[in-house]
Structure 1
Amino acid sequence: MTSNRLAKNLKINRISAVWIIPIITLIIGVWMVYAHFADQGVRITLLASDANGIIAGKTVIKSRNVDVGIIDSVTLSADYQQVILKGQIYKNMEPLLKNDSVFWVVKPQIGREGISGLGTLLSGVYIELIPGNEKSHFDDKPFNLSDNPPLAGPNVQGIRINLNSTQSDVIPRGAPVMFRGFTVGYVEISDFDINARQMKYQLFIPKPYDVLVTDNVRFWKEGGINFSLSPRGANLEIPSLEVLLSGGISFDVPTGSKFGIPAKSLATYQLYEDKNAIQDSQYTHYHEFLLFFTDSISGLSVGAPVEYRGIRLGTVSKVPFYTPEMLKSLSVLSYNIPVLIRIEPGRLTEVSKEPIDLTSLIIKEQQVGLRASLKSINFLTGSLYVDLDFYPEVKDDKIDSTKTEFGYDTIATISTGLSQIQLKLIQTLDNFNQLPLNKTVTEFNQSLSEIKQLVNSLNKITASKDMQNLPQDMKKTLASINATLEGLQPGSTFNNQLNTDLKKFESLMDQLTPLLNTLNDKSNALIFAAPTKADPQPKAKGN
C-alpha cells in the first residue's frame, strides 16, 4: 500500500517538471507581446503631396534633433491624390503630440535666410515635429505634412491678420511686416483667390508687437525705390536691402489719427498701394462735384488734390468722367471735358474743431466769383491739380449755383494758370511772326538809294560857281550837311554796319520761324518735348 502511494507521487512530480518549461516560455512570450505593444506609443497618420526621400522603416521623426518616432508605412490614398504616411510616436514622447502639432520635411533648401538642411545629404530626409500648445488630448486626427518649415510654431503667441489686395505685385511668404521701419512680423500665407480675383495674405505678428495692431490701422505695400517731386522739392526713399529684393508690408494709423481698440484675431484689412494712399482712405465722408474744363486735362490724374489757396479740400475722383446719360448728350470730343471730384470735409478737422458745411459753402460762394481751375503741381512732371479760388472779374450774382447737371452739383470753371500763360505767349509770338519785316528792309534799302542820289545832287550844287558866291556861313552849313549825308551813303562805316545788323536780324528770324511753327502745333513745347515730325517725302512726277 505504501509503495503504491510512493509511485503515484513520483508520477505526479514527473508530469509537473515537464510542463514547467512551456509555461515559462508562454509567460515570457506574453510579456514580450505586452512589452511590444506597451512601448509602441501613439499611432499617427500624415498626409503629404509626395513621398520624396521618405522610406518606410528608415525615416525618423525628430524634435530638436532627438528621435521621437518613426515612419513604418508609405502608401497612396484611395483616390491616388495624396500620400498616406503612417508611423508612431514613442511612448515616452507622447506629451509632444497635440491636435495643433506641426510636421514638416527637413531637406536641403535655399531660402531667404540662407541654405538649410545640408545634414540630410548624408543621413537622408527626416520629419520634424513641433509640439502643439492645445491642452486637449490628441484625438487621432490626420496631420498635414508640409514641405516648408513653419514661420511660427503653434506655441508662439501673437495675432494673425488677413489682407485683401487687388494689386498685381505679389508679396512672397516670409516677407517682413514692419511698423515705422521696424520689423514686427512676417507674411505667413500668400495665395491667389481665383473666385475673388485678388491676392490673399495672412500676417502673423507675435507678442509683444501684437498690441500695435488696432482696428483703425492701415496696411500698405513696401518695396522698390520711391522718388517723388512736389512743391517742397525732391524726395528719395530707399528701403532696406531685404525689402528691396523681396518686398514687404508696413502698417500704421493715418497721420493725425489716434490708435483705436486692439484688433481681433483674423480680422480682415485692405492692402493699399503706398503710404500716401492710406491718408486718403480715412476720408469716407465726401460730396461729389462735376466740373467741365475747356483746358487740356493732360497731367491731371485720379488722386490729384483739390485745394483752396494751398489748403487741401478734396481729391480728384475720375478723369475724365462719362456716364451713359452724358454720352447721349455730350460727345467724347466735346469742347468741355467732365471731371469728377470729391470734397472731403474731414480734411479740415485740424483747421477747425467745429464741423464745416463745405458743400453748401462752395455752392453759395460761386455767386461771388468762386471758380475751379487747373494749375501745375510741378513744371518738370507736368502734373496738375484742381484749384479753387475767387475771381472778382467773373462775379455774377444771377448765376444759378444750385443747378445740377446729370445728377451732380457743379462748380463753374475758369481758364487760368499755365494755360493762360501759354495762350499769351503764343499770341505774342504770332504777332511777332506777322510783322512785315521783309517789306521794311526793302523800303529801307530804297530810302538809302534815294539818299545817295540826293548826296550826288548836293555835291554838284556845292561845286557850281553860284555856290561859291554864297555867304561863308551857308557854305559851312552845306558842308556839314554834305559830310553827314556822305556818312549815310553806301560804302560808309554807318551804312556797312547797318547792312550787317539787318542781315543778322534776317538770320535770327529764319531761326525763329521753326520755333514759332512748333509752338503753334504744341503750345507747351517750351516745357515738354514736341512730337518729332516725319521727314517730307518727294512726290513722283505727275502726282
Structure 2
Amino acid sequence: MNESPVQLDEQSAAVFPAALAVKRSNWRLQLVWMVPMVALLIAGWLVVQSVMKSGPTITIRFSTGEGIEAGKTKIKFKNVDIGVIKSVELSGDHKTVIASAEMSRNAASMLVDDTRFWVVRPRISGGTVSGIGTLLSGSHVGMDIGSAQKTRSDFVGLESPPVLASGTPGREFVLKSDNLGSLDIGSPVFFRRLQVGQIVSFALDPEGAGMIIHVFINAPYDRYVTDDTRFWHASGVDVTLDTTGVKVNTESLVSVLIGGLAFENPSGATNRLEADAQHQYELFVGRAEAMKQHDAVVDKYVLNFKESVRGLTVGAPIDFRGIVIGEVSAINTHFDPATKEFSIPVEVSIFPERLISRDDSGSAVGAIPSERKEFADYLVKKGLRAQLRTASLLTGQLYIAIDFFPSAPKATVDWSKTTPQLPTVPGNLQGLQESITSLVAKLNKIPFEGIGNDLRKTLNDADTLMNTINTDVAPEAKSTLATARETLTSANRALQSDSPLQQSTAETMRELSRTAASFRALAEYLQRHPEALLRGKTEDK
C-alpha cells in the first residue's frame, strides 16, 4: 500500500511531539575555540611572569665599546650576575658608545644617582693588578652601589674602576701640592711605614697653579689624622744635601717603585683631636720639610754680604750659638752705582718665639719684648752681627751664624729699607782667604831666582874645592898618614912588655924605690938624732 508523504507526516506528528525552534545564543563557546583560548591564557601568564621577574632597563655611556658584546657581556656586583647588555650602539654625535642593559628585578633598588659602572679588564695601576680573571672569562661590566636616594636609569661609565668600594670605613682628606710627582690613583699612603690608605683622585686646582689630591685613610688608622698632621711625598729615594751632610730617606720598597705619600704628627703637637673628613692639608716635598717647626711669628731681615755666598742655599739655617732661630728665604744680587760695587743681599726669616726663656718644666718664663725694634737696636749696639760660616767641609755648605762680636766696628740697623737690614762681619773663610792672599804676596816678593843663582854659584865653588882637595891635598895627606902609622907602630913595639925599653924602665923604677927607702930611713934617723948632723953617726951601745 502506497501512502502519500502527507499521510506519513500526519502519522509521525501523531506519534512524535512537534519540535520547537530555539534561538541560538551569540556567547555560546564552541568547543573548537577552547584550545587557542587556553594557549592564549598560558602565553599571557608567561608574559606576566616574565614582566614580574624582569628588572628595569638602563643605558650606560662608555667612551669605547672595547670588551662589550650585546647579549653576552654580563653586569656583575660582587661577582654575581645582576644584568646583561642587550644592545650596543654609537651615540648620535659618534663620540660615545651607548649600551642598553636589562637588569634583574632585585637590582632595581641599586640604581641610584651615584651608582657607578665600569668595564672590568686586566689593569695595573698604583702598584695593584686587577681584572686578571677576565683573561679567561672575558670582560664584564662591574657595578658599585651608591648611597643616594634618587633613582636614575641612564649612567656614564667610568674609564677605570674606583679605588674604593662604597661603604668602606674610613675618611677622605684633601691635599694641596705644587705638582703631582710620581703619584697615581691607587698610590699608597703610609703611616710609620705601614700602608693605611691610598689616593682616590686628583685634579688641577681651578687656577691651574697646583694639584688637589684626595686621599682615603682606612679605619681605624684615620683616627691618627689630626689638624696638626703633616703629609709629604714618600716617592722613590729622598736624597738631601744640606749643612749637616748627605741624608738618604725612603719609606718602603713599594714607594721606591711606584711612589706614595706618608703622614705623621709632629712630636711637639698639642692638638690631638681627630680631623674632620675633607680637611685640607699642605703636601710637603719631603719629611724634613714637613716636620719643620712652623712658627706663628716671623720677622724678615736682610743681611748684606760682600763676599762669596757659594754654598749658601735657600732654607739654610740661621744659627744662634747652636740654636736654629731662622732660615734663609731668598738670595739676590745688588749693584751700587755710587760705589761701583756688587753685594749679595740675603733675605732671612727670624723666628723670635724660639728665643723665649723657659724654666725646668718647659714653661715660658720670659718673652721677646713687644718692641722688637728697640730690642734689635740694643742687641746690635752690644755687637750682634751676622756671619757666614762653613757647616760641612765635605759638602761645602754654608750657614749664617748670628753672634756677638764686641770688637766689631760700630753699626746700626738700617730701618729705612722696606726690609730692615742687619749688619754683618766677614766670615772666617774670607779672613783665611785674605791671610793666604797676603802670604802669597809676601812670597812673591822673595827673589827666589837670585837665591837660586847664588846657590848654584856656591855649589860650583864647592865642586872646585873638592877637585882641589882630591888632586893636591889628598896625596900629601896620604903620605902623612903613612908616616903617622909607622910612628904608632914603633911606639907600640917600644911599649911591649918584653921590649928592652920596658925592662930598663922596670929596673930604673926598682932602683928609685930603693933610693927612696934609704932617704926615708935617713930622714927618720935624723928626726931621732938631729945632733948627728954635727957629731956624725955614733955607734949604738
Same fold (TM over 0.5): yes
Q: 2:324 aligns with which of 273, 294, 312?
A: 312
Question: In the aligned structure 1, how far is the partner of 2:357 from the partner of 2:87?
Answer: 69
Question: In the aligned structure 1, how far is the partner of 2:463 from the partner of 2:43?
Answer: 146
Deviation for aligned residue 1:230: 6.2
User: Per the alignment, in what secondary structure is the counterpart of residue 347 of structure 1?
Assistant: helix
* Residue 99 (1) aligns with residue 100 (2): no
**Paired position in structure 1 for 2:341:** 334
Question: In the aligned structure 2, how far is the partner of 1:454 from the partner of 1:241?
Answer: 80
After superposition, residues 106-121 of structure 1 pair within 5 angstroms as 106-112=120-126, 115-121=129-135
Q: Return closer, same or farther for 1:140/1:225 CA change in 2, 3 Å cut-off.
A: closer
* Residue 346 (1) aligns with residue 348 (2): no
TM-score (structure 2 length as normaliser):
0.73
Question: In the aligned structure 2, how far is the partner of 1:364 from the partner of 1:426?
Answer: 36
User: Per the alignment, in what secondary structure is the counterpart of residue 256 of structure 1?
Assistant: coil
State the superposition RMSD in angstroms: 3.4
User: Per the alignment, in what secondary structure is the counterpart of residue 297 of structure 2?
Assistant: coil
User: Per the alignment, in what secondary structure is the counterpart of residue 20 of structure 1?
Assistant: helix
Which residue identity is paired with 1:340?
Answer: E
After superposition, residues 260-299 of structure 1 pair within 5 angstroms as 260-280=272-292, 282-299=294-311
User: Per the alignment, in what secondary structure is the counterpart of residue 393 of structure 1?
Assistant: coil
Q: 2:402 aligns with which of 382, 388, 400?
A: 388
Q: Return closer, same or farther for 1:31/1:104 CA change in 2, 3 Å cut-off.
A: same
**Paired position in structure 1 for 2:268:** 256
**Paired position in structure 1 for 2:419:** 408
After superposition, residues 105-184 of structure 1 pair within 5 angstroms as 105-112=119-126, 115-134=129-148, 136=149, 138-167=150-179, 169-184=181-196
Structure 1 range deviating more: 434-443 or 271-280: 434-443
Q: Return closer, same or farther for 1:350/1:25 CA change in 2, 3 Å cut-off.
A: farther
Report if aligned partners of 1:167, 1:273 keep a CA contact under 8 Å in 2: no
Question: In the aligned structure 1, how far is the partner of 2:232 from the partner of 2:84?
Answer: 45
Per-residue CA deviations over 1:329-353 (Å, capped at 9, x if unaligned) read: 6699833211111111233469562
Question: In the aligned structure 2, how far is the partner of 1:203 from the partner of 1:168?
Answer: 13
Report if aligned partners of 2:126, 2:184 keep a CA contact under 8 Å in 1: no
Report if aligned partners of 2:125, 2:184 keep a CA contact under 8 Å in 1: no
Report if aligned partners of 1:321, 1:340 keep a CA contact under 8 Å in 2: no
Deviation for aligned residue 1:223: 2.2
* Residue 4 (1) aligns with residue 20 (2): yes
Per-residue CA deviations over 1:195-224 (Å, capped at 9, x if unaligned) read: 414233111112111112222222111123
User: Per the alignment, in what secondary structure is the counterpart of residue 436 of structure 2?
Assistant: helix
Aligned length: 446
Deviation for aligned residue 1:146: 2.1
Q: Return closer, same or farther for 1:148/1:2 CA change in 2, 3 Å cut-off.
A: farther
**Paired position in structure 2 for 1:28:** 42
User: Per the alignment, in what secondary structure is the counterpart of residue 378 of structure 1?
Assistant: coil
Report if aligned partners of 1:217, 1:259 keep a CA contact under 8 Å in 2: no
Per-residue CA deviations over 1:488-541 (Å, capped at 9, x if unaligned) read: xxxxxxxxxxxxxxxxxxxxxxxxxxxxxxxxxxxxxxxxxxxxxxxxxxxxxx
Q: Return closer, same or farther for 1:293/1:455 CA change in 2, 3 Å cut-off.
A: same
Which residue identity is paired with 2:122?
Answer: P
Deviation for aligned residue 1:22: 4.1
Q: 1:301 aligns with which of 301, 307, 313?
A: 313
Report if aligned partners of 1:104, 1:128 keep a CA contact under 8 Å in 2: yes
Structure having the higher Rg: 2
Report if aligned partners of 1:291, 1:410 keep a CA contact under 8 Å in 2: yes
Which residue identity is paired with 1:48?
Answer: F
Question: In the aligned structure 1, how far is the partner of 2:99 from the partner of 2:339?
Answer: 66
Q: 2:444 aligns with which of 433, 439, 458?
A: 433
Question: In the aligned structure 1, how far is the partner of 2:142 from the partner of 2:251?
Answer: 35
Question: In the aligned structure 1, how far is the partner of 2:466 from the partner of 2:195?
Answer: 95
Report if aligned partners of 1:163, 1:269 keep a CA contact under 8 Å in 2: yes
**Paired position in structure 2 for 1:54:** 68
Report if aligned partners of 2:245, 2:395 keep a CA contact under 8 Å in 1: no
Which residue identity is paired with 1:207?
Answer: A
Q: Return closer, same or farther for 1:168/1:149 CA change in 2, 3 Å cut-off.
A: closer
**Paired position in structure 1 for 2:53:** 39
**Paired position in structure 1 for 2:94:** 80
* Residue 17 (1) aligns with residue 31 (2): yes
Deviation for aligned residue 1:115: 4.8
Report if aligned partners of 2:200, 2:216 keep a CA contact under 8 Å in 1: yes
**Paired position in structure 2 for 1:421:** 432
Report if aligned partners of 1:315, 1:341 keep a CA contact under 8 Å in 2: yes
Report if aligned partners of 2:244, 2:392 keep a CA contact under 8 Å in 1: no
Q: Return closer, same or farther for 1:330/1:99 CA change in 2, 3 Å cut-off.
A: farther
Q: Return closer, same or farther for 1:35/1:421 CA change in 2, 3 Å cut-off.
A: same
Q: Return closer, same or farther for 1:455/1:64 CA change in 2, 3 Å cut-off.
A: closer
Which residue identity is paired with 1:338?
Answer: P
Question: In the aligned structure 2, how far is the partner of 1:344 from the partner of 1:377?
Answer: 21
Which residue identity is paired with 1:422?
Answer: Q
User: Per the alignment, in what secondary structure is the counterpart of residue 34 of structure 1?
Assistant: helix
Question: In the aligned structure 2, how far is the partner of 1:447 from the partner of 1:14?
Answer: 159
Question: In the aligned structure 2, how far is the partner of 1:208 from the partner of 1:48?
Answer: 36
Q: Show structure 2 runs of 5+ residues with no match.
A: 1-16, 468-541
Q: 2:378 aligns with which of 364, 379, 382?
A: 364
User: Per the alignment, in what secondary structure is the counterpart of residue 335 of structure 1?
Assistant: strand
Question: In the aligned structure 1, how far is the partner of 2:321 from the partner of 2:151?
Answer: 69
